[in-house]
Structure 1
Amino acid sequence: MHQTSVIQRKRKMLRARVARRVLPFLASLFMATPLAAPVTKSMAGSTGNEMRMPNSFVSPEVVFEQKLRATYNAIGAEQQGLKFETFAKAMTGYLNLREAGRLAEDKQLLTVVDFDLPSTEKRLWVFDLATNQTKFHTLVAHGHNSGENEATNFSNTDASNMSSLGFYATSSEYTGKHGRSLRLEGLDEGFNTNAAARSVVMHGADYVSEDFIKQNGRLGRSLGCPALPMDLKDEIIEAVNGGTCLFINKSDAGYDSKYLNQDAAVAALVSSGNLVNQS
């Protein structure tokens, strides 16, 4: 019972700290964000001229989604084929990782790979959240044993030759058998934390091209690496190296993460201010 009470007190203290940081921020948002409910005339009273004020409280969850949607729209991600649900997961993790100090302070880049899409479609995005721009939108390969044109199987096991889902932090560059390459640190226990041991890295490959698709009906496949087109790999590696966020998504694949904590994401949103304002 004593241990339970200590845990409960710690949870209350955490919620209180988040509330102290979030409430002033939300108050400023309420002033800038139009209320969802319109002001309507009241049917009560004898004059018929009284006005009923709407309920002005908007939950942190609603405001958080509004801010994400504003950023999603500003970037034009929907027109580029990225679903809002995938973008929202990626942004939630990005904000969690910033709050946890796992990402570089001087780069506001988010790389998303969406394996809901087949290999014949451009399914890698690099977003600059400081300017709300898409720096890159291109093809990317999945692991040989993850599937043919579509990635359906994933693993964190060495020699599985499968892709691994979840959040990564980019690390340092090196020159290997694929030339210029970028180390990746898997951050989701049970899903991708063996990335370094498996040599899962970003690198270029000749089999990631429109010509390969025309000849084979799909991209070639890697040993688990998110392999890039040869003509873009240097630019992408140069941009995202050194502690930026990579999220590899597949819906309905049993993936979950501690970095999808919305409370922590809201707290990070307060301190970073990197999402577009709706005012």
Structure 2
Amino acid sequence: MTSAIVRTDLPELELLHRGKVRDMYAIPGHDDKLLMVATDRISAYDVVMDDPIPGKGKVLTQISLFWFDLLADIVPNHLLTADVDEFPEVCRQYRDQLEGRSMLVRRTEVVPIECIVRGYLSGSFWKAYQKDTTVCGFALPPGMRESDRFPEPLFTPSTKAEQGLHDENISMARMEELVGREQARRMADISLALYTKAAEYARGKGIIIADTKFELGMADGELILIDEVLTPDSSRFWPLDEYAPGRGQPSFDKQFLRDYLSSLDWDKQPPPPKLPPEILEKTRARYEEALARITG
């Protein structure tokens, strides 16, 4: 197995932000660009695990690159290039840390909203539904089962919390207050169009995209797609041939890790528990399977 990259060290660049998975750098002399590097860190319940998944950052990057290309007709994106040879010269000396897991992107003003689209009743939405059939402002029919498909995909935005804090679901009305009515409607329309096209494509590859989250930024006065797109970190991927409503579904994402952690006596606060090698390997295999199915 290849060795994992847990954190990057690029001393001639300016580290702007170390997120749960990605390290973001400013590049001297290139104020309009950023370098985004996907490490092999993995988080669950907003806690970064101490144990990485070797190669995970490369899988995330390859999947995002695929979707950026497929979905470019719906909305522009921030990708400039993922070819290290085309990066500014100061970046190329770090090739061993960047190859296959980095993107040179346009610098944007991030809109602080998580654009979540749900096609199926699952996860936190299912938990909320069991208490009240009106969830995030949507009056859902009674009697729905876990993993049931919605008649139409739902746009359920949330605030973008600081690291270590939980995102908070908000209504469309609240989103309009935060970003303006026209902007909010445009973001919802873009997100639903992205999900609809991606879900149709993935279904042909034997994958159900149960839900996902997009991030959008502003550049030159227009909304563009940023960050990662439709990866196992940001989405729930279910095998179509095993889909059976009324229960949780097997998946090609980090739900396997979440389920393992839920079986432990852990309060979902740092420090995280040690992950056994077989859990790391099975998680890695699910990410690899997602890449193979989506891009194959």
Shorter-chain TM band? under 0.3
TM-score, structure 2 normalization: 0.27
Of Structure 1 and Structure 2, the greater strand share is in 2
Q: With the length of structure 1 as denominator, give the TM-score of the two structures.
A: 0.28
